[in-house]
Structure 1
């Protein structure tokens, strides 16, 4: 497979599993669909990501951040984000931070919290 094809395939499968009748509830426990507007293209993108919830915040740890670009949309003060969270549409403000070890965390403050 060419570079990027594997990730695209995995994302497509994860997106389908979120709404699957039998396994959807299990997948939704730690996977959320996020939508955001690209910082350069102005296009809307949607992708599944793993998350954990803490109070009124959603925390996304970006695995292999150097191979991904989506989180860069939330640097320097962050930006708006939409989430399909447990079958409900939510919005919020996301901020990405890279620590001294190169790990990236995106924290989403939900608008209605």
Structure 2
């Protein structure tokens, strides 16, 4: 594990509880979200924080420094299922990563919310 990956892990560990805090969490949750997915090769469940933009049932995650990160490759080139916590609610959807030169984005199409 690289120094960058260890630092990112510490960042996630420290920031995750803050997202649940009443005041600060509401402020941050409009741009930071926790995603969960099952690793394509490892088969393990992964949880991490990402920065995102949302438009309706579409979430766009711009991957900063994609050459230093591997998580997005689970959604490239064919896509896969993902969970994302939005407004305190776990939503599911299908994520697809796209490479454009050095830029990588992950587009999530959210599943419809099931009415009880």
TM-score surpassing 0.5? Answer: yes
Structure 1 consecutive aligned stretches of length 4 or more whose deviation exceeds 3 Å: none
- For structure 2, the 5+ residue unaligned runs are none
Partner Cα distance (1:91, 1:27) in 2? 20
Matches within 5 A, 1:46-85: 46-85=47-86
Aligned to 2:12, what secondary structure does the other structure show?
helix
Partner Cα distance (2:89, 2:21) in 1? 15
Partner Cα distance (1:65, 1:57) in 2? 21
Partner of 1:106: 106
Partner Cα distance (1:51, 1:30) in 2? 5
- For structure 1, the 5+ residue unaligned runs are none
Report the TM-score, using the length of structure 1 for normalisation: 0.92
Shift of 1:22: 2.6
Shift of 1:53: 0.6
Partner Cα distance (2:69, 2:15) in 1? 17
Partner Cα distance (1:22, 1:87) in 2? 13
Report the TM-score, using the length of structure 2 for normalisation: 0.90
Partner Cα distance (1:7, 1:79) in 2? 23
Partner Cα distance (2:106, 2:51) in 1? 11
Partner of 1:27: 28
The range that moved more, 2-11 or 27-36, is: 2-11
Partner of 1:36: 37
The range that moved more, 74-83 or 9-18, is: 9-18
The range that moved more, 33-42 or 13-22, is: 13-22
